[in-house]
Amino acid sequence: MKLDDKLYLVRFNTDKLSHIKISNPNVCLQQCQDKPCTRFCPAHVYDWDEEEKRIAVGYEGCLECGTCLIGCPFGNIDWKYPRGGFGVSWKNG
């Protein structure tokens, strides 16, 4: 099965509260030149907003892979599992 087909089986129960927070937006703006979060997240949760000069976080699409816990070179992402009953669920077939 191709990845696109597998992702088609993903279901989300979206919380109103984000389970992801950028700890210090100034670090993103002033210290992180490459902004690797905009590339390593498989769900494209992080996007650089050039107008607002900050990382926009589309937490609703998070696949809960945990990559951002180790991927941010400044440890600047405060990520927790979504509250019980919320978040992603996987269907096998």
Q: In this structure, how many other beta carbons lie within 10 angstroms of the beta carbon of residue 41? A: 22
Using the minimum distance from each CB to ligand SF4, give the nearer residue, 6 or 66. 66
Among 59, 53, 52, CA closest to 79 = 59
Is 5 strand, coil or helix? helix
Does position 87 interact with ligand SF4 (CB under 6 A)? The reply is no
Residues with Cβ < 8 Å from 34, sequence gap 6 or more? none
From the CB of 5, what's the least distance to ligand SF4, in Å?
18
88 contributes a contact to ligand SF4 by CB under 6 A: no
Please identify which residue in 63, 80, 83, 85 interacts with ligand SF4, judged by CB under 6 A.
63
- Site map (CB under 6 A) of ligand SF4, residues 5-44, x = contact: ---------------x-x----xx---x--xxx---xxx-
How far apart (Å, rounded) are the C-alpha atoms in residues 68 and 35?
A: 12
